[in-house]
Amino acid sequence: MKKRHRLQLLIRVLVGISLTVPFLTIAQNNKTIERMGAVNTESFDQGWLYSRYGLQPDGTRVEEPKNLESTNQKDATWQKLNLPHDWAIAGPFRSDITGETGKLPWRGIGWYRKHFTVSADDQGKQIFVDFDGAMANAKIWLNGQYVGTWPYGYSSFRMDLTPYIKVGQENIIAVRLDTENWDSRWYPGAGIYRHVWLVKTNPVHVGHWGTYITTPEVTSKKATVKLAVTVDNQSDKKVNALVQTSFFELDINNKPTKKVTATKAVTVAINPNSNVVTETQTAVLNPKLWDIVAPNRYVAQTTVSINGKLVDSYNTPFGIRTIEFSATKGFLLNGKKVVINGTCNHHDLGALGAAINTSALRRQLKIQKEMGVNSLRTSHNPPAPELLELADQMGFLVWDEAFDNWKVGKKKNDYNKIYDEWHEKDLKALIHRDRNHPSVFIWSIGNEVPQQRDVEITKHLADIVKREDPTRPVSNGYNDPDASREAGAPVSLDLMGVNYFFSQQAKWEADPRYKDMPTLGSETASTVSSRGEYFFGNDYQNWQISSYDTAHPGWGCTPDEQFRTNAKFPKMLGEYVWTGFDYLGEPTPYNSDDTNLLNFRSDPSKVAELQKKLEEIKKKNPPSRSSYFGIIDLAGFPKDRFYSYQSQWKPELPMAHILPHWNWKERMDSITPVHVYTSGDTAELFLNGKSLGKKTKKQGVDFRLIWDDVKYVPGELKVVAYKNGKKWATDVVKTTGEASKLALSVDRNTIAADDVDFAFITVKVTDTAGLTVPRTHPLIEFSIEGAGEIVATDNGDATSFTPFQSHERNAFNGMALVIVKAKKGQKGKFTVVAKSNGLETGKVTVSVK
């Protein structure tokens, strides 16, 4: 491993100089570990006050008063809330706002204030506030004094409050956010939308993201574990600090269990107001490796002592695994080849907006795991820390991405405005925060950046990444991969990321500059559809898109076409489909903005063609406010192609899936094609017991089986799939009876009474036999009894303007979703009731612990 360029010297043993410092009561370290960092970290999410200026939800403006940071500012009438908070998700949806950012009023100026006290015992301590992310252009004051700024809304950052804090008295922190001077190609959310933490340390402590663990040699018998610890001395005296780290296994509940090794204690001398990096090494015998099937982890518990007294204690969860990327062997995790079956995703959580919620994110990952997803691309920005924690825990590999543009923006007020001053700080923040996560296996410096052909900038950014973490490859997602490779820009990368355009792949595999460079489909498919909608002849109707999985924009393709490309280039490491979930904004092809023209930057005739289409669409003012790209809809319900990916990504799972539904009263005797996704190789389709023939996939060519000449008659469609001549899986689709009742089910029977653990309740409109009735959209009214609260509702319809907070919602093609939380501290249970005219009421009860 290359030595990192640091000014500080590595100092190992020095003479002791005594220092009197106040000591923390540092908890025993066998507690559940919530996050990497100082043990003395507490949530700072509760009890904020909020007020909005500038653009208001209805489009009017309220002038921003001066001195809102002042301690004299009256804030008693401000809205009381807890973080995370996304001020835009409350809407309303407005047809005059562009669909690209979700038709939600996210632009504005938001002020947050919090009154808090730190105990008199904290005298002499360092007090930090850590923001996981604040959208955007954050400026922070404490007690009226300016503390600092961090413009990029996706970066995590720390502010040192120490110089301004008043111990034993009330303090007021004020945060100003401004999304009026920020642009986005998707719904960015607005506000302090991630968690905030208060960290108290002694003046001598492990620095912010101050540990870096690498495992340069790993065998089944032994793993070498290298640890670099940055120790800050924020006192005005030189100190001798004893730094020591013990390593424990970490169980699935994030509790340290068995101790496996420890480093030798190292004494370091640190000058006043400076820091030192200590580097030590130890070995873990018979290491339990982290991988995507068994995500084993360890935790390093570092202590810093002065004169025998403990002054700081710091946790670093990590995993032991090897990663290897090769143009010939592919990607190897712990020596075994893994094909990357990935999805790209934006950060919003559908009806919850951008406000981070761990249970919502966990649900998204669980659904994707079921589909066979093994990797996630954090398109196109640093993710919430919770995403990496969950990826570590659940076994996902992460392509961790920094930017959507560099010096040249895709929009007016893009990252281009802050690139010069901030790109290095933002990149460092991403890498220092994330480099101990075993799930993170690729760094990405960008996505389709307008300057992708620029050799110098590419090298500059790649160099920063390699300096901060030389153990993972650096990549970039190219939508102009040919011109960029021609120009030589990717030469300084380790991995070539190709978005969509693989036409000249064979040429580059032979080019001496790139032949040893592994290639990845960093973005693929972009198939568009609406769950449960099937059209015949024209894929696009009523602002919806047919779910036959045949529609895609000019630059995209069907999943099948991409599988064929992958089969043609077996050296490619795999793909990241655009996207796993539908997201707020970018409702291509019903966009009313011109961002997607960027996809054809180099082809003027395509730009002109798209421009024309766009003008026509704009005139019609589409109601679409969320994407159609998801394999899974915004409410978390799988669309048909979920099963296409599952058939390829989980080939050992016996499965078959028929589409469309079989309720086509108006299509009597009309040709109604039937498609089947299966992990088998052959299938026979039956309509009302009569065989419509057996079909076999051509290896590498067919990824679905199609019966194109089926004439509709009501009844039962059944498919029997075979693999290697043996019966493998079946699926049945029946013509249903009339809608008769509402059936509710919940993703978990028990949730925690902590305000943040959410239950996801699926509502189905069914007939008397319990079959979900397609093409039904009844208005459903939701209510709740007991210890719960309805947080949001959704149905996956990209054109619905019903606010997500509404307790009334139409089903969309027979389904709806209710998101419920338990009231803090109120144990017991709650029952969600769903009512609709003419339908039997549905109920589900959830326990609260």
Strand partners, 812: 815
With respect to ligand GAL, which residue has the nearer C-beta, 282 or 527? 527
Of 599, 766, 799, 800, which one interacts with ligand GAL (CB under 6 A)?
599
CA distance 117 to 191: 23
DSSP secondary structure, 779-824, as one string: EEEEEEEESEEEEEEE---TT--S-TT-SEEE-BTTEEEEEEEEPT
With respect to ligand GAL, which residue has the nearer C-beta, 268 or 344? 344
Site string for ligand GAL, 133-162 (x = CB under 6 A): ------------------------------
| CA quadruple 382, 386, 387, 389: dihedral, nearest 10 | 120
Whole-number minimum distance, CB 403 to ligand GAL, in Å? 12
Closest residue to bound ligand GAL by CB: 526
Provide the sign of the torsion angle of the four alpha carbons 441, 447, 449, 454, taken in this order.
positive
CA distance 688 to 385: 52
Provide the sign of the torsion angle of the four alpha carbons 229, 233, 238, 239, taken in this order.
negative
Which residue, among 636, 679, 632, has the nearest Cα to 654 in the 3D structure? Answer: 679
With respect to ligand GAL, which residue has the nearer C-beta, 158 or 639? 639
**CA distance readout (Å), 599 to 102, 447, 476, 604:** 20, 11, 16, 11
Of 282, 439, 447, 795, which one interacts with ligand GAL (CB under 6 A)?
447
**The amino acid at 56:** Q
Strands (E), 138-203: 138-142, 145-150, 157-160, 170-178, 196-201
Are residues 216 and 228 in contact, defined by beta-carbon separation less than 8 angstroms? no
Whole-number minimum distance, CB 491 to ligand GAL, in Å? 22
448 has catalytic annotation: yes
Whole-number minimum distance, CB 528 to ligand GAL, in Å? 8
Are residues 277 and 6 in contact, defined by beta-carbon separation less than 8 angstroms? yes
Which residue, among 717, 725, 711, 570, has the nearest Cα to 656 in the 3D structure? Answer: 717
With respect to ligand GAL, which residue has the nearer C-beta, 523 or 684? 523
Q: Is 757 in the site for ligand GAL (CB under 6 A)?
A: no
Which residue, among 255, 257, 234, 233, has the nearest Cα to 243 in the 3D structure? Answer: 233
DSSP secondary structure, 229-287, as one string: EEEEE-SSS-EEEEEEEEEEEE-TTS-EEEEEEEPPPEEEEE-TTEEEEEEEEEEEES-
Q: If you count DSSP H runs as helices and E runs as strands, how many of each does the chain have, helices first?
A: 9, 49
Q: Annotated catalytic residue: which of 448, 533, 575, 684?
A: 448
Of 44, 578, 581, 649, which one interacts with ligand GAL (CB under 6 A)?
578
523 has catalytic annotation: yes
Whole-number minimum distance, CB 179 to ligand GAL, in Å? 19
Q: Annotated catalytic residue: which of 100, 386, 389, 523?
A: 523
Of 448, 640, 681, 797, which one interacts with ligand GAL (CB under 6 A)?
448
With respect to ligand GAL, which residue has the nearer C-beta, 112 or 583? 583
Q: Is 183 in the site for ligand GAL (CB under 6 A)?
A: no
Q: Is 499 in the site for ligand GAL (CB under 6 A)?
A: yes
Whole-number minimum distance, CB 578 to ligand GAL, in Å? 5
Site string for ligand GAL, 541-560 (x = CB under 6 A): ------------x--x----
Interactions with ligand GAL, residue window 671-730 (CB under 6 A): none
With respect to ligand GAL, which residue has the nearer C-beta, 539 or 731? 539
Residue found under tokens 């509702």: 793
Q: Is 526 in the site for ligand GAL (CB under 6 A)?
A: yes
Whole-number minimum distance, CB 343 to ligand GAL, in Å? 12
Whole-number minimum distance, CB 239 to ligand GAL, in Å? 49
Q: Is 403 in the site for ligand GAL (CB under 6 A)?
A: no
With respect to ligand GAL, which residue has the nearer C-beta, 448 or 533? 448
Are residues 783 and 833 in contact, defined by beta-carbon separation less than 8 angstroms? yes
Are residues 344 and 527 in contact, defined by beta-carbon separation less than 8 angstroms? no
With respect to ligand GAL, which residue has the nearer C-beta, 211 or 546? 546
CA distance 97 to 601: 25
Whole-number minimum distance, CB 556 to ligand GAL, in Å? 6
The continuous run of DSSP H or E covering 620 comes out as: helix 604-620
Are residues 582 and 796 in contact, defined by beta-carbon separation less than 8 angstroms? yes
| Phi, then psi, of 472 in degrees rounded to 5 | -130, 150
Whole-number minimum distance, CB 477 to ligand GAL, in Å? 6
Whole-number minimum distance, CB 450 to ligand GAL, in Å? 12
With respect to ligand GAL, which residue has the nearer C-beta, 133 or 553? 553
> Contacts with ligand GAL: how many residues (CB under 6 A)?
13
Kindly state the DSSP code that residue 28 receives in the 8-state scheme: P
With respect to ligand GAL, which residue has the nearer C-beta, 210 or 497? 497
Q: Hey, is 461 helix, strand or coil? A: helix
Instruction: Locate 438 and state its tokens.
Output: 């075993």
With respect to ligand GAL, which residue has the nearer C-beta, 452 or 547? 452
Total residue count of the chain as it appears in this document = 849
Are residues 715 and 687 in contact, defined by beta-carbon separation less than 8 angstroms? yes
Interactions with ligand GAL, residue window 466-495 (CB under 6 A): 479
Is 205 buried (19+), middle (13-18) or exposed (0-12) by CB count in 10 A? Answer: buried
Whole-number minimum distance, CB 394 to ligand GAL, in Å? 25
Whole-number minimum distance, CB 353 to ligand GAL, in Å? 19
Of 523, 539, 582, 681, which one interacts with ligand GAL (CB under 6 A)?
523
With respect to ligand GAL, which residue has the nearer C-beta, 155 or 381? 381
Q: Per residue in 621-659, is it b (16+ CB within 10 Å) or e — as a string? A: ebbbbbbbbbbbbbbbbbbbbbbbbbbbbbeeebbbbbb
Interactions with ligand GAL, residue window 277-336 (CB under 6 A): none
CA distance 772 to 737: 9
Rule CB under 6 A: which residues touch ligand GAL? 380, 447-448, 479, 499, 523, 526, 553, 556, 578, 586, 588, 599
Enzyme catalytic residues? 448, 523
